[in-house]
């Protein structure tokens, strides 16, 4: 499909994180696309450990103003927060920073609004200055702390612990996990490998420690565990996997018991042929893994078929194990873990000079404009 009648159809994407940007960049040539974003930047959810331990490097590749993406040049970006969706009249109501309420019509709706997760993600409306202030504040909380506790043994917890300990070898970095090994959901070889790596770099690893997570979770002070034990740290990073979906604006009929969007394997929302969901907010599988497994191609294909009056025929199938980069590029290079347990290693030069600026920014994201000097 290219040009023609489909260009008259309007696609509204709620959420312009990594997946929202990728979907918009693939649809902008054939549809009128509007992206609703609570932030003027793509503030990536990737590589949290590098963000906390090496913010300057992280900002080069993972904090990008939306107007710099070349494939979004024809996309209307609304810096606003979705407050309601009218499925019958096919409109989304948004509220911008000046408290102005607007209704946006759609032919197709894509829900990519994501989740809040502990230390680093929420759906509040923020300016570029707000984003920078938060990033700097989080980095200072690490650099000024003498003791740092990370709660949760998933990829964000492991990445945070390993990267912070390597960047600040004199600090006490503790990782508390509920299981015997970190990285549940990954192949056994990856779990064993990072168990050893964490200990090797000096992280204090506490297994069998299931934390009691208060609301709101404290950024410093005391952590209480179900065993009755406790720990104290100058800075606490909560990475337990407890996610709050950003779905308060959606009708209850679209949501499961936990508030996630009920989604078919075609990435269509149950009972709606013109509404799609993808990413952390979509209940495609128990891990809600569609964002990190290239499912945007499935969504784009099926939406184009629906626009042409045909049934969706591609399905998202989650892998047996999680895969990809876990701790980001290190001085020794980047280790990529496959779901089969095999690993691929790339040199640091290749990552910084080829993979991120060329493969990721130029090919996957279809070009990023250079910063004006």
Q: 181-209, pLDDT tens digit by residue?
A: 999 989 999 999 999 999 999 999 999 99
Low-confidence ranges of the chain (pLDDT < 50): 1-6
What ranges do the domains of the chain cover? 4-127+243-319, 138-238
Determine the Cα–Cα distance for residues 301 and 304; give it in Å rounded to an integer. Answer: 5
pLDDT, one tens digit per residue, over 214-227 is 888 889 999 999 99
Q: Cβ distance 273 to 87 under 8 Å?
A: no
For residue 314, the model assigns a pLDDT of: 96
For residue 141, the model assigns a pLDDT of: 95
For residue 321, the model assigns a pLDDT of: 77
End-to-end CA distance of the chain: 38
The reply to whether 4-127+243-319 and 138-238 are identical in fold is: yes
In this structure, which topology does domain 4-127+243-319 adopt according to CATH? FAD/NAD(P)-binding domain (3.50.50)
In this structure, which topology does domain 138-238 adopt according to CATH? FAD/NAD(P)-binding domain (3.50.50)
Q: Cβ distance 236 to 217 under 8 Å?
A: yes
For residue 292, the model assigns a pLDDT of: 72
CA distances 135 to 164, 189, 249, Å, are: 15, 33, 27
Determine the Cα–Cα distance for residues 327 and 119; give it in Å rounded to an integer. Answer: 17
Cis peptide before 216 (omega within 30 of 0): yes
For residue 1, the model assigns a pLDDT of: 47
Judging by DSSP bridges, how do beta strands 230-233 and 235-238 pair with one another? unpaired
For residue 241, the model assigns a pLDDT of: 74
- CA pseudo-torsion sign 279, 121, 51, 76: positive
Q: Cβ distance 324 to 186 under 8 Å?
A: no
For residue 42, the model assigns a pLDDT of: 95
Q: Which residue has the tokens 């990552």?
A: 351
CA distances 115 to 124, 131, 170, 171, 330, Å, are: 11, 17, 34, 31, 28
For residue 2, the model assigns a pLDDT of: 47
């Amino acid at each position: 499909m290219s040009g023609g009648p489909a260009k008259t159809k309007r696609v509204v994407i709620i959420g312009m994180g990594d997946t929202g940007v990728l979907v918009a960049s693939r649809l902008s040539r054939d549809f009128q696309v509007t992206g609703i974003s609570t932030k003027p930047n793509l503030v990536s959810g990737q590589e949290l450990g590098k963000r906390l331990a090496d913010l300057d490097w992280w900002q080069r590749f993972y904090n990008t103003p939306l107007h710099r993406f070349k494939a979004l040049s024809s996309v209307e970006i609304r810096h606003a927060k979705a407050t309601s969706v009218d499925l019958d009249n096919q409109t989304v109501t948004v509220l911008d920073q000046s408290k102005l309420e607007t209704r946006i019509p759609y032919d197709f709706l894509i829900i990519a609004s994501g989740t809040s997760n502990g230390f680093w993600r929420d759906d509040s409306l923020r300016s570029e200055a707000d984003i920078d202030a938060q990033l700097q504040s989080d980095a200072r909380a690490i650099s000024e702390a003498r003791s740092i506790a990370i709660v949760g043994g998933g990829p964000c917890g492991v990445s945070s612990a390993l990267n912070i300990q390597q960047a600040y070898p004199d600090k006490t970095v503790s990782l508390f996990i509920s299981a015997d090994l970190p990285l549940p959901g990954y192949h056994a070889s990856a779990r064993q490998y990072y168990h050893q790596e964490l200990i090797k770099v000096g992280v204090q690893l506490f297994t069998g420690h299931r934390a009691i997570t208060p609301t709101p979770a404290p950024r410093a002070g005391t952590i209480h565990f179900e065993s009755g034990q406790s720990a104290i740290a100058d800075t606490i990073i909560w990475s337990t996997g407890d996610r709050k979906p950003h779905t308060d604006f959606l009708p209850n009929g679209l949501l499961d018991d936990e508030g996630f969007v009920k989604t078919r394997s075609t990435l269509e929302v149950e009972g709606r042929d013109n509404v799609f969901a993808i990413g952390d907010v979509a209940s495609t599988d128990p891990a809600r893994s569609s964002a990190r497994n290239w499912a945007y191609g499935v969504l784009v294909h099926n939406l184009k078929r629906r626009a042409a009056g045909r049934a969706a025929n591609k399905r998202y199938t989650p892998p047996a194990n999680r895969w990809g980069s876990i701790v980001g590029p290190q001085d020794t290079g980047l280790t990529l873990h496959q779901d089969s347990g095999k690993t691929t290693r790339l040199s640091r030069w290749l990552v910084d000079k080829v993979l991120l600026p060329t493969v990721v920014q130029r090919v996957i994201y279809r070009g990023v404009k250079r910063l004006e000097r």
